[in-house]
């Protein structure tokens, strides 16, 4: 069972009436507003004046980080505005300013976000880190917006969430566990292959495959010039020519699971991410969201290399 609390999933009848929630500041909702952060027990906050609203370790770390000289890209990522890479693009586009003057480099050193604006809107100081588990249904883009107008994960998130960004991505037709956080630095650490955090999937595929073929992936494989690291794959069951396979990877390269199974001659008809590290999908319903307890998040962060 996932070590989580604060069920925020709503029945589909209510979700259909809700406005998109948790959208990053860089990609505002249709009405131009960011969803407000809700107050939760154990979730420390850094007030606008820089004071700490809670005595937890997370709050103390956020308070210390707010005063330590850092690159603006890192500060904005920590505040959950966007990833560092996206912030670098925003700087290049002239969308970030300090006291009215456009910033021309993401390496600008600051001690706080006082006076910083994104698209003309002030940026608030970082809150304590928060992590959510979201059961992404199929048919949603893992992005703040889609130029083609397809629905995104933010159209399905329930109201009341803080501004959140996804940890990694799930393809349009991939479902299952997607982590969301308000902390760009935490997002980066969770995504880095060097942390070795395993991602577990269940795939339904059509075709002939043996356990021996799956075990050959344990040494990694090169496909079309791309090297994929060790993959732990095991056959769960077979029904006719359809098989269910459990796959565990640690790199999370683009469409890695689908490409590896296609390399083995299989056609993937369904792909579900069931776990990301110690966080598991379990029986969380499609579209549902739960928040990781603050204590559990702090303990988990100690394990990240």
Q: Which position has the token pair 């690291």?
A: 229
CA 8-10-16 angle, to 5 degrees, is: 130
The one catalytic residue in 171, 183, 224, 283 is 171
Q: How far is CA 248 from CA 17, 32, 78, 127, in A?
A: 37, 39, 29, 33
In angstroms, the CA 18 to CA 58 distance is 31
What letter does residue 223 receive in the DSSP assignment?
A: E
Strands in the chain per DSSP E: 4-5, 70-71, 96-98, 101-102, 109-110, 116-118, 121-122, 131-136, 165-166, 174-181, 199-206, 221-223, 226-228, 232-239, 242-249, 267-276, 279-280, 289-292
Measured from the Cβ of residue 277, the count of other Cβ atoms closer than 10 Å reads: 17
Contact (CB, 8 A) for 164 and 152: no
The beta-carbon contacts of 11-16 under 8 Å, at least 24 apart in sequence, are: 12/287, 15/156, 15/158, 15/287
Closest CA to 289 of 9, 26, 65, 70: 9
Question: Distance from first CA to last CA of the chain, Å, rounded?
Answer: 24
Active-site residue, 171 included: yes
Residues catalogued as catalytic: 171
């Amino acid at each position: 069972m996932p070590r989580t609390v604060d069920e925020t999933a709503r029945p589909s009848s209510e979700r259909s009436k809700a406005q998109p929630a948790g959208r990053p500041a860089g990609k505002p909702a249709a009405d131009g507003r960011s969803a407000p952060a809700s107050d939760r027990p154990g979730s420390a906050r850094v007030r606008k004046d820089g004071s700490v609203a809670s005595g937890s370790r997370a709050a103390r770390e956020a308070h210390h980080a707010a005063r330590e000289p850092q690159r603006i890209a890192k500060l904005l990522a920590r505040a959950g505005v966007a990833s560092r890479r996206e912030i670098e693009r925003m700087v290049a586009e002239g969308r970030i300013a300090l006291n009215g003057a456009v910033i021309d480099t993401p390496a600008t050193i600051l001690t706080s976000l006082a006076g910083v604006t994104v698209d003309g809107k002030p940026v608030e100081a970082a809150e304590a880190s928060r992590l959510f588990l979201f059961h992404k249904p199929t048919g949603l883009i893992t992005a703040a917006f889609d130029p083609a107008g397809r629905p995104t994960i933010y159209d399905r998130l329930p109201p009341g969430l803080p501004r959140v960004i996804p940890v990694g991505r799930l393809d349009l037709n991939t479902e299952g566990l997607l982590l969301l956080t308000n902390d760009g630095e935490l997002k980066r650490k969770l995504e880095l292959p060097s942390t070795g955090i395993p991602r577990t999937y269940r795939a339904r595929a059509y075709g002939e495959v043996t356990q021996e073929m799956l075990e050959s992936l344990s040494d990694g494989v090169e496909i079309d010039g791309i090297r994929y690291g060790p993959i732990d794959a095991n056959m769960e069951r077979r029904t006719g020519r359809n098989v269910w396979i459990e796959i565990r990877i640690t790199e999370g390269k683009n469409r890695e699971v689908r490409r590896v199974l296609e390399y083995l001659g299989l056609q993937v008809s369904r792909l579900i991410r069931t776990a990301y590290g110690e966080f598991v999908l379990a029986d969380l319903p499609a579209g549902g969201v739960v928040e990781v307890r603050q204590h559990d998040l702090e303990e988990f962060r100690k394990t990240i290399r």
